[in-house]
Amino acid sequence: MKALVLEQNEGKTLASVQDISSDRLPAGEVTVDIDWSSLNYKDALAITGKGKIIREFPMVPGIDFAGTVSHSEDDRFTPGQSVVLTGWGVGENHWGGLAEQARVKADWLVPLPDGLDTRKAMILGTAGFTAMLCVLALEDGGVNPQSGEVVVTGASGGVGSTAVALLSALGYNVVAISGRESNHTYLTELGAKRILSRDEYSDNTRPLEKQLWAGAIDTVGDRMLAKVLAQMNYNSTVAACGLAGGYTLPTTVMPFILRNVRLQGVDSVMTPLHRRLTAWERLAGILPERFYQQAATEITLDRAAETAAALIGNKVTGRTLVKIR
């Protein structure tokens, strides 16, 4: 089978497409013939070696994939069944989706719900799954379309752009924050009502500012998240899922204790199965068909490494699909 293999030489990460035996796949109850994978920010960090994602080499990256079961030792899955996988350390410490086959634990797989094929599942992928978890967190916090404007940071990225589309499809009034003016038309087509410049959110902020947002989905962290927190309405919710801008949070307790703001962390790696099933069922029924035509760029496996470098350089918009078969 063909696979993108990461190896390390003198501290440098080297990525190459290789023909390897499927006998080298790690242990697991289910073997999947992969149709599609994708490139996420974490994949890009792993492939380029810019982040300490991979600790054991060789490694096949790819934190998500969709395909069909070819062999199963678990009664829950049968050959020919369409499945999707996100998270669980796959592509980090267990060989992942940038290959023609994967062997994984049955507990890590989700059967594809009606309304999604493997290509659509990977247009969504980890990014779409994370965005849906963020929307669920807002709903759990009592934020609904009548509550007021909802802001999405890092809106041009995979999570952010899917969050804009999901919220818009659900009837929310969405405001997008993006650092790239060239993406304004793209974000408007996804459903953003207004677009703000990232520059407005890059400086230091006061502990409390004018109340603007009923809810927020933040993919950036650091000063961006601090600024958003200072602008939240009373009794609002922020779903935080990313740290592309940094892992610190230079804020105070004032938004939380004076405005009753809820900051909900969202993790997509270890999400329990029941929550995964809910998220994927919701994803299958919300997004319009045009989303799948707007939000993805398609590449082949041999272009994964160069595209990963572009993603790190903030030169990629939306989702990047990797066609495996």
Q: What pLDDT shows up at residue 295?
A: 67
Q: Are 45 and 136 in a shared domain? A: no
In sequence order, which ranges of 203-299 are alpha helices (DSSP H)? 222-230, 254-258, 273-286, 289-294
Q: Are 185 and 97 in a shared domain? A: no
Q: Are 233 and 169 in a shared domain? A: yes
Q: What pLDDT shows up at residue 51?
A: 83
Q: What pLDDT shows up at residue 15?
A: 95
Is the residue at 275 inside a domain? no
Query: Which of 249, 265, 281 is the endpoint of a domain?
Result: 265
Condensed to tens digits (0 to 9), the pLDDT of residues 265-282 reads 999 999 999 999 999 999
Q: Which long-range contacts (CB under 8 A, 24 or more apart) does 76-83 make?
A: 76/106, 77/30, 77/106, 77/109, 77/111, 81/111, 82/111, 82/112, 82/117, 82/118, 82/121, 83/30, 83/32, 83/109, 83/110, 83/111, 83/112
Is the residue at 171 inside a domain? yes
Condensed to tens digits (0 to 9), the pLDDT of residues 251-262 reads 999 999 999 999
CA distance 57 to 311: 23
Stretch 14-20: mean pLDDT: 95
Stretch 58-72: mean pLDDT: 97
Three-state DSSP class for residue 307 = helix
Q: Are 234 and 108 in a shared domain? A: no
Domain count across the chain: 2
Condensed to tens digits (0 to 9), the pLDDT of residues 169-198 reads 999 999 999 988 888 999 999 999 999 999
Stretch 231-242: mean pLDDT: 97
Q: Are 219 and 179 in a shared domain? A: yes
> Which structural domain range is residue 310 located in?
2-112+295-323
Q: What pLDDT shows up at residue 293?
A: 84
Q: Are 156 and 186 in a shared domain? A: yes
Does the pLDDT of residue 316 top 90, yes or no? no
Q: What pLDDT shows up at residue 183?
A: 87
Give the chain's mean pLDDT: 94
Is the residue at 274 inside a domain? no
Is the residue at 156 inside a domain? yes
pLDDT class for 212, splitting at 50, 70, 90? very high
Query: Which of 247, 265, 283 is the endpoint of a domain?
Result: 265
pLDDT class for 202, splitting at 50, 70, 90? confident
Query: Between residues 203 and 83, which one has the greater pLDDT?
Result: 83
Work out the percent of the chain whose per-residue pLDDT is above 70.
Answer: 100
pLDDT class for 16, splitting at 50, 70, 90? very high
Condensed to tens digits (0 to 9), the pLDDT of residues 139-164 reads 999 999 999 999 999 998 889 999 99
Stretch 81-109: mean pLDDT: 97
CATH number at residue 172: 3.40.50.720
The pTM (predicted TM-score) of the whole model is 0.93
Is the residue at 290 inside a domain? no
Q: What pLDDT shows up at residue 180?
A: 82
CA distance 264 to 83: 29
Q: Are 149 and 108 in a shared domain? A: no
Q: What pLDDT shows up at residue 204?
A: 80
CATH number at residue 74: 3.90.180.10
